[in-house]
Amino acid sequence: MASAARLDLDGNAIKPMTICMIGAGGFIGSHLCEKLMAETMHKVLAVDVYNDKIRHLLEPATHPWSDRIQFHRINIKHDSRLEGLIKMADLTVNLAAICTPADYNTRPLDTIYSNFIDALPVVKYCSENNKRLIHFSTCEVYGKTIGSFLPKDSPLRQDPAYYLLKEDASPCIFGSIEKQRWSYACAKQLIERLIYAEGAENGLEFTIVRPFNWIGPRMDFIPGIDGPSEGVPRVLACFSNNLLRHEPLKLVDGGQSQRTFVYIKDAIEAVLLMIVS
């Protein structure tokens, strides 16, 4: 049963709202839907092409929240129903994206279309209908640090000015055009710039989220076990796959690469605060 005790950051009772969640059937979307159903009285218009990860929320129809979640099987590339759902909602959360690193090199066109072109109508409809937008971007828009270009024995590598990123001051350094790995970050940054421009010129109310490697249940797949045998999942699933097959762990750059991980339940708690504040 949903809790009625949650308050906003000012201590006021939170008014129930209708949320159009695009990409609700994915990793983040499924956990956000769970949180909204369990702890709020908000209604969710769940938009996706698949619902496997949220089927437990949709069936059976006797769930206490059954009247607060509706699944709409829509491909946002070409479906006129999308604007109608955004109009019905108080808030739109856009989670739709291709965000698997293995795809950036092998499917750069799909990556660019998914993360920029397909997001254009969402931004347009929110702006034209005065609807708030929470758009999920990526930490990859920060690019590389200046320090990554310094010789490994340079004393400047110890200077924070060369390796600490400042949100509004650090230069944005991406790879060259032929490095298709950067197609994801570039597409995400461009849609961020469009959203920012819509806010500046047309008053779009928005929040941009830049996740740093959120991990947890339903994030990924083990090739040939609960996913396609030819696919390449993210790093933790790759490690799990190696362990299950008694193979050596495959390390990027000989183990020199570093990542920051955030557990999905902690991240979703932060998103819930973004929704109500």
Residue numbers annotated as active site: 184
Could you check whether the bond before residue 60 is cis, i.e. omega within 30 degrees of 0?
A: yes
Which residues, in sequence order, are CB contacts of 193 under 8 Å at separation 6+? none
- CA dist., res. 250 & res. 74, Å (int): 37
- Phi, psi (degrees; rounded to nearest 5) at 173: -115, 115
Residue 43 has, within 13 A of its CA and on its CB side, a CA count of 12
State residue 186 phi and psi, 5-degree precision.
-65, -45
Which two structure tokens, joined as six digits, stand for 29?
Answer: 């979307």
Which residues 6+ apart lie within 8 Å of 32 measured at CB?
21, 24, 93, 95, 268, 271, 272
